[in-house]
Amino acid sequence: MPSNHPAPPGGFQPPDDKPFIYGNHNPDQEIKSNLAAAAATRVVGGMSTHWSCCTPRQYANASLHHNERSDLFSPDEWEGLYKDCEKIFSTDTTGKVFADSVRQRLVMKKLKEAFDEDFRKGVKKDGQKAARQVSPMPLACKQTADNKAYIEWTCTASILEKLAEPNTSPNFTLMSQAQCDMLKIDAAGQKVEWASIVDLVSNEEYTVTAKKYIICGGATLTAGIMAKFVFKSELALDTFCPALGKYLTEQTMSFCQVVLKQGFVDEVINTPEHLDKPEDTPEQKSSTKVIEHKKQHPEDPVPFPFEDFDPQVYTPYSEDYPWHTQIHRDAFGYGELPSNIDPRLVVDLRFFAQVEAVATNYISWKLGSTDAFAHIPFQAVAQGQRTSPRDDDRASSNSPPPIPISSISIPYPSNPWTQTRSMTHVASLLGDYIPGAEPQHLAPGLALHICGVYRAGKTDNKEESVVDRAGKSGA
């Protein structure tokens, strides 16, 4: 998706009627509705190779305004599905992995005290019945059995376990450098006949037949693969899956970074036992860790052991504070620290808000454009039946494959500042801003939480959903 940055005035500028197309840029993309920071990961393992592993459950309270969870499944079904997924993802729901980190304890304690104080003083929402909560972040990770200093973060490889290693099963082959190009659907639009796979090294194409075909190429690419096979199977997108690409959602994102307050760190230096818990073994005590660190490294002005785990906490989504939050450390490019600041003193705050699922937020595909992986030219079928802006996208023939190049329009929540103001308040309770990392809205799409473009529905209402509860599409 093209960047929103203007080109430098002294450099080459494309003519107004011929915008850049290189790098999968959709020349029809309106800059104002572009998710400029959205991206797809094209490696084995996908985004799990660099995700943050934060896995809080969606907020569910159907009777209240901010219900996040769809009614596609009953509460019992959701519970069962969450439990299964949390098992597969090794989600640490109780926060035990980070429970003994000195900084985890410090951030939790200071935020809890500050939230209680806020509530006492009346710094709260109208009708708020209890102090705001702070909890350990549910994280998809576990400590490695043989070395407690290491954490194994969940990813595709850790989920597949032995299957991720070549030749461990006659029934399972994981291939790199191979791309699913399309699925051939029969003329009745009922059945997949075969899948075409391209070897990206030799450019050779071969077909695969199966009882079931599952496409899981990430949000935008899965929708793109579907759009492509609809075109190539000479079906009409409008009748086969009219909701494809629509109802796109993405979270808006606010960000800042603080250095912990002087007083908090001094307290750890002088009275680390304030962070001890009655049930602690001697090794678990923060006081033991801090005193031992001081002994080993008297030259270090910071009391936190070098191997102390980063803080990983959040304020759970609630009716009064309807934002997903991450109060932690993470290694994104935009969070890089100045070299004169010890990273052990830094806490990142990321607050995410939801946008409504509406048909007018969508991905479209432009025939005639290709992305880096679209090798096989084909005869595209002009559909030309839409009255939406997507009409033009399908009007050409003899074109290369349609590739998802998003033309996305996302109306932001009515007041994105509420989420940023809330983050600013929490940040002010912890420390002071790192220059350059003061509160800011991040570029649209940066959350990389795009959903909805091949959404599931309860009924067979093709206008509103692409697949059924089991993720199955018409063919």
Ligand X SMILES: Cc1cc2nc3c(=O)[nH]c(=O)nc-3n(C[C@H](O)[C@H](O)[C@H](O)COP(=O)(O)OP(=O)(O)OC[C@H]3O[C@@H](n4cnc5c(N)ncnc54)[C@H](O)[C@@H]3O)c2cc1C
Which residues are near ligand X by CB under 6 A? 40-48, 50-55, 179-180, 216-218, 221, 225, 448-449
How many H-runs (helices) and E-runs (strands) does the chain carry?
A: 8, 15
Cα atoms in the 13 Å half-sphere on the side-chain side of 220: 28
Task: Describe the chain by its helix, strand, coil percentages, rounded to 5.
Answer: 25, 15, 60
> Cβ 171 to ligand X, closest distance in Å?
19
Please give the structure tokens belonging to residue 50: 């660099």
Measured CA to CA, the distance from residue 413 to residue 415 in angstroms comes to: 5
For ligand X, which is the closer residue by CB, 42 or 294? 42
Measured CA to CA, the distance from residue 210 to residue 229 in angstroms comes to: 16
For ligand X, which is the closer residue by CB, 38 or 346? 38
For ligand X, which is the closer residue by CB, 249 or 399? 249
CB distance 91 to 293 below 8 Å:
no
> Cβ 408 to ligand X, closest distance in Å?
16
* 403-404 and 151-153 beta bridge pairing: unpaired
> Among candidates 207, 179, 206, 177, which has minimal Cα distance to 374?
179
> Cβ 204 to ligand X, closest distance in Å?
15
> Cβ 364 to ligand X, closest distance in Å?
18
- Contacting residues for 442 by C-beta, under 8 A, at least 6 apart: 37, 253, 254, 255, 334
Measured CA to CA, the distance from residue 103 to residue 194 in angstroms comes to: 54
For ligand X, which is the closer residue by CB, 47 or 337? 47
For ligand X, which is the closer residue by CB, 123 or 456? 456
> Cβ 242 to ligand X, closest distance in Å?
22
> Cβ 57 to ligand X, closest distance in Å?
11
> Cβ 106 to ligand X, closest distance in Å?
22
Tokens 């059924």 sit at which residue? 468
For ligand X, which is the closer residue by CB, 90 or 286? 90
Please give the structure tokens belonging to residue 346: 């830094």
> Among candidates 470, 235, 355, 454, which has minimal Cα distance to 462?
454
How far lies 365's CA from each of 90, 198, 297, in Å?
37, 21, 58
Measured CA to CA, the distance from residue 86 to residue 93 in angstroms comes to: 8
For ligand X, which is the closer residue by CB, 304 or 309? 309
Which residue of this chain has its Cβ atom nearest to ligand X in the complex?
46
For ligand X, which is the closer residue by CB, 106 or 195? 195
> Cβ 360 to ligand X, closest distance in Å?
23
